[in-house]
């Protein structure tokens, strides 16, 4: 045995053909190639050297001068994980069981706070949010890995990302969009492939396309040093009012199941690998177990006002389908999503013991159901901030629903008792150390070490599988070439086109081919509050820029000059379901979440809520019956109506950027054609309008006839509303859509259409 210190060597492996080994220096790291083994990568500044054993090269991560089992890439991952977990100090284990808050990769060096997370808290799971560009992200990732490699055991970081390959829904250019002349011209908007939002992918009803999406996006992630995707969101959006509808794969259990399965299988699989795992794999953290789309009244569980998930239809089981029959039952060799995230909500009334605590604290939801009944073997990571401090139901802070009065360490202990391996968005590993000692007091010293090592093994397994222990470094120039390359962008753009749903086309108003004259009215957005209760200023906009619109048509300044009009609006922006205390409302109260633009009074809502109660509330009844809600973008409704009046008999084309289902009655009678955009660029919409592409998408949800049917539906039951019927006699039901020939009735509709 000796240290490998020379640049190139040819070594005879015992009993085998020779193993050729050579080193290749890069600016921030060195690669060690070997013909009979994996490529190794290390930072010269970390102190790690290369060992040669039996003619093979290995990284001496702990600088011991000997090859330890966790450093031996020939051994099974389970054996390596067990060996390393046994070497970890208590502080290192507790750091491994933390997941950082969102970090910015806007520079090539780490911030002091980022260094503190890695060095002081021993965190090895970094969530990457904003990035400057692919090259910068790669350099930043390498800096993270070099710092981790320099630590005593050299455990690499498992960098992750929330979904990042989507347009903002109003983009005036699609990055690297193929121009009509066939040229491939980059714009400055982004350097990553752009796809429809998740529910837009669902609107394609195309499982094969989802697989292509996963294969491409995982390559872009790996190029930037990202090895875990905090996705997919496999929740069934059974309540149409839920704010996170846009991130789901529809309200249909079967469609959600198939899309989640294809997504995870594509992301996690390295082609040709014996067990499916390897250097092209990206771990999937599927969310949110056991389904987060059933919040009472559609309220969101990021706030205490939405802490309860309810099941008035008795269909708790439906929310499990995309997980147990989809993400946990992959056709490929990786077998199941490697991690899962429980949602913030309390699954009200489901625990046979009668306990009502958030899923991340629930032994029944995690240990009894997820692990024991359904055999889940991977990492369980809480949603972000559930162990953090809590203030009031309407304040966005910690989310310890059901255990608000426990101490910080007791909250963490409760999670670990439930079967949680990792705390999302948490730091201060010393609090987890305190929770460890609470476990010792309650269950004994041996039990504490065994329990925490179990989580450490699971977490280390996911880092070993993707090859980070051998080589966590990425080439910044290769990242710049791969991320947002022509092939990937064109695939994303094709998916955007396929996701657009046409629900109305009276008199063949579309397509509008040729050099026609178009008028786009100015859209006014009044001031208001965001979902996070931050003030938003008023502004005016042309949703489609005149520069882009002029590529397709002659843009005119008045309706009198126009052959047709395009009106771009957003689905109703209902508020969050609560009126905060003020001078006029000293105690605050619950409020309906409206899916219509015009004012709505909840005269048929429940007298008494299914669930309720909070340490800061005087009453457990969360009913909002009798209260009135007005969507903050009510002006969009009037814009459509004014445009209809101004255009007379000439066609009015309405584009609705759809973040959740809506009641069409406020706008449908005033439109000749209606297109639904689930987060696509304006280029794609104009390609549909002009006839360059044909509508292909189908409704991934019902569009309700009115708010009364929304109140009548059960939060946990899909497709249980009366769909809206338009002036053409078409019912806006699940899986409905039009193309140029009329109603689409292809195999997708036959497979996933509403069952009687």
For the chain, what are the domain ranges?
Answer: 86-176+186-482, 499-575+631-752
Distance, in Å, from the CA atom of 611 to the CA atom of 306, rounded to the nearest integer, reads 10
Distance, in Å, from the CA atom of 226 to the CA atom of 161, rounded to the nearest integer, reads 7
Spatial CB neighbours of 441, under 8 Å, sequence gap ≥ 6: none
Residues of the chain with pLDDT under 50: 1-14, 171-190, 756
Contact (Cβ atoms closer than 8 angstroms) between residue 607 and residue 714: no
Strand partners, 570: 657
Half-sphere exposure of 272 (CA within 13 A, CB side): 2
State the DSSP string of 101-140.
Answer: -EEEE-SSS--HHHHHHHHTS-----EEEEES-HHHHHHH
For residue 737, the Cα-to-chain-centroid distance in whole angstroms is 26
Q: Domain 86-176+186-482 is of which CATH architecture?
A: Alpha-Beta Barrel (3.20)
The two tokens of residue 290 are: 């056991």
Distance, in Å, from the CA atom of 645 to the CA atom of 747, rounded to the nearest integer, reads 40
Contact (Cβ atoms closer than 8 angstroms) between residue 332 and residue 276: yes
User: What is the model's pLDDT at position 328?
Assistant: 98
**Helical segments of 517-557, H only:** 546-552
Spatial CB neighbours of 350, under 8 Å, sequence gap ≥ 6: 311, 316, 364, 365
Spatial CB neighbours of 25, under 8 Å, sequence gap ≥ 6: none
Spatial CB neighbours of 531, under 8 Å, sequence gap ≥ 6: 243, 300, 576
Q: How far is CA 578 from CA 297, 525, 615, in A?
A: 11, 22, 17
Distance, in Å, from the CA atom of 465 to the CA atom of 174, rounded to the nearest integer, reads 35
Spatial CB neighbours of 561, under 8 Å, sequence gap ≥ 6: 517, 519
User: What is the model's pLDDT at position 175?
Assistant: 39
Cα-Cα end-to-end distance for the chain: 70
Three-class secondary structure of residue 71 per DSSP = helix
Distance, in Å, from the CA atom of 114 to the CA atom of 105, rounded to the nearest integer, reads 10
Rounded (5°) CA angle 540-543-547: 110
User: What is the model's pLDDT at position 250?
Assistant: 97
Contact (Cβ atoms closer than 8 angstroms) between residue 661 and residue 722: no
Three-class secondary structure of residue 675 per DSSP = strand
CATH of domain 499-575+631-752: 3.40.50.1700
User: What is the model's pLDDT at position 755?
Assistant: 55
How many helices and strands in the chain, by DSSP H and E? 19, 34
Rg (CA), the chain: 27
The two tokens of residue 690 are: 């002009």
The two tokens of residue 736 are: 């409905």
Residue 501 has what DSSP assignment? E
Tell me how crowded residue 476 is: count the other CB atoms within 10 A of its CB.
Answer: 25
User: What is the model's pLDDT at position 754?
Assistant: 67
Burial of 446 (0-12, 13-18, 19+ CB in 10 A): exposed
User: What is the model's pLDDT at position 190?
Assistant: 46
Distance, in Å, from the CA atom of 651 to the CA atom of 643, rounded to the nearest integer, reads 10
3-state secondary structure 696-731: CCCCCCCCECCHHHHHHCCCCCCCCCCECECCCCCE
């Amino acid at each position: 045995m000796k240290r490998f210190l020379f640049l190139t060597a040819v070594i005879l492996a015992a009993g085998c053909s020779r193993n050729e080994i050579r080193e290749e220096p890069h600016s921030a790291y060195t690669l060690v190639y070997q013909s009979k083994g994996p490529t190794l990568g290390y930072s010269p500044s970390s102190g790690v050297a290369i060992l040669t054993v039996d003619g093979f090269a290995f990284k001496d991560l702990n600088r011991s001068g000997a090859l330890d089992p966790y450093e031996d890439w020939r051994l099974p991952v389970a054996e390596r994980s067990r060996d390393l977990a046994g070497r970890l100090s208590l502080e290192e284990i507790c750091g491994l069981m933390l997941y950082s808050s969102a970090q910015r990769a806007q520079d090539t060096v780490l911030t002091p706070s980022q260094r503190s997370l890695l060095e002081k808290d021993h965190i090895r799971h970094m969530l990457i949010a904003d990035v400057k560009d692919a090259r910068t992200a790669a350099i930043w990732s390498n800096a993270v890995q070099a710092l981790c490699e320099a630590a005593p055991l050299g455990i690499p970081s498992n960098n992750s990302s929330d979904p990042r390959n989507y347009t903002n829904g109003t983009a005036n250019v699609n990055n690297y969009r193929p121009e009509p002349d066939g040229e491939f011209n980059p714009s400055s908007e982004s350097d990553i492939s752009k796809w429809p939002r998740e529910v837009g992918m669902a609107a394609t009803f195309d499982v094969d396309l989802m697989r292509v999406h996963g294969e491409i996006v995982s390559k872009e992630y790996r190029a930037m040093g990202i090895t875990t995707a905090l996705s997919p969101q496999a929740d069934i959006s059974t309540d149409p009012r839920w704010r996170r509808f846009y991130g789901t794969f529809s309200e249909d259990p079967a469609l959600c199941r198939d899309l989640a399965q294809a997504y995870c299988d594509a992301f996690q699989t390295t082609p040709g690998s014996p067990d499916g795992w390897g250097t092209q794999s990206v771990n999937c953290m599927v969310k949110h177990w056991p389904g987060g789309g059933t919040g009472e009244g559609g309220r969101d569980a990021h706030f205490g006002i939405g802490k309860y998930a309810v099941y008035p239809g008795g269909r708790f089981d439906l929310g499990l389908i995309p997980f147990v029959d989809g993400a946990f039952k992959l056709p490929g060799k990786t077998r199941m999503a490697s991690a899962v995230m429980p949602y913030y909500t309390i699954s009200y009334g489901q625990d046979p013991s009668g306990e009502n605590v958030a899923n991340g604290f629930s032994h029944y939801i995690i240990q009894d159901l997820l692990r024991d009944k359904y055999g889940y073997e991977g990492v369980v990571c809480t949603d972000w901030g559930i162990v953090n401090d809590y203030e009031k139901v309407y304040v966005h802070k910690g989310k310890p629903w059901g255990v608000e009065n426990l101490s910080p360490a007791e909250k963490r202990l409760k999670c670990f008792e439930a079967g949680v391996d990792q705390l999302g968005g948490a730091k201060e590993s010393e609090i987890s150390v305190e929770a460890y000692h609470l476990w010792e007091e309650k269950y004994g010293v041996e039990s504490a070490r065994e329990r925490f090592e179990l989580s450490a093994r699971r977490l280390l397994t996911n880092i070993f599988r993707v090859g980070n222990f051998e080589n966590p470094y990425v080439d910044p120039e290769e990242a710049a070439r791969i991320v947002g390359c022509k092939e990937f962008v064109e695939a994303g753009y094709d998916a955007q086109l396929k996701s657009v749903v046409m629900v109305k086309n009276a008199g063949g108003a579309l397509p509008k081919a040729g050099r026609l004259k178009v008028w786009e009215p100015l859209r006014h957005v009044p001031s208001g509050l965001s979902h996070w209760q931050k003030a938003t200023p008023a502004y005016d906009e042309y949703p489609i820029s005149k520069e882009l619109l002029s590529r397709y048509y002659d843009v005119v300044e008045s309706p009198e000059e126009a052959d047709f009009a395009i009106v771009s609006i957003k689905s109703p922006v209902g508020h969050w379901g609560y009126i905060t205390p003020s001078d006029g409302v000293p105690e605050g109260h619950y409020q309906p979440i409206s899916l219509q633009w015009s004012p709505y009074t909840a005269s048929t809502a429940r007298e008494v809520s299914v669930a309720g109660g909070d340490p800061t509330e005087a009453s457990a009844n969360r009913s909002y019956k009798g209260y009135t809600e007005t969507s903050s973008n009510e002006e969009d409704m009037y814009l459509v109506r004014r445009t209809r009046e101004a255009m007379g008999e000439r066609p009015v084309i309405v584009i609705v950027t759809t973040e959740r289902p809506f009641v069409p009655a406020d706008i449908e009678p005033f439109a000749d054609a209606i297109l639904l955009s689930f987060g696509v660029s304006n280029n794609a919409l104009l390609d549909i309008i002009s006839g360059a592409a044909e509508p292909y998408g189908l409704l991934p949800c019902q569009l309700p006839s009115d708010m009364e049917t929304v109140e009548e539906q059960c939060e946990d039951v899909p497709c249980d509303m009366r769909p809206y019927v338009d002036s053409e006699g078409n019912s806006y039901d699940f899986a409905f859509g039009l193309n140029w020939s009329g109603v689409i009735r292809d195999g997708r509709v036959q497979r996933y259409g509403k069952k009687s």
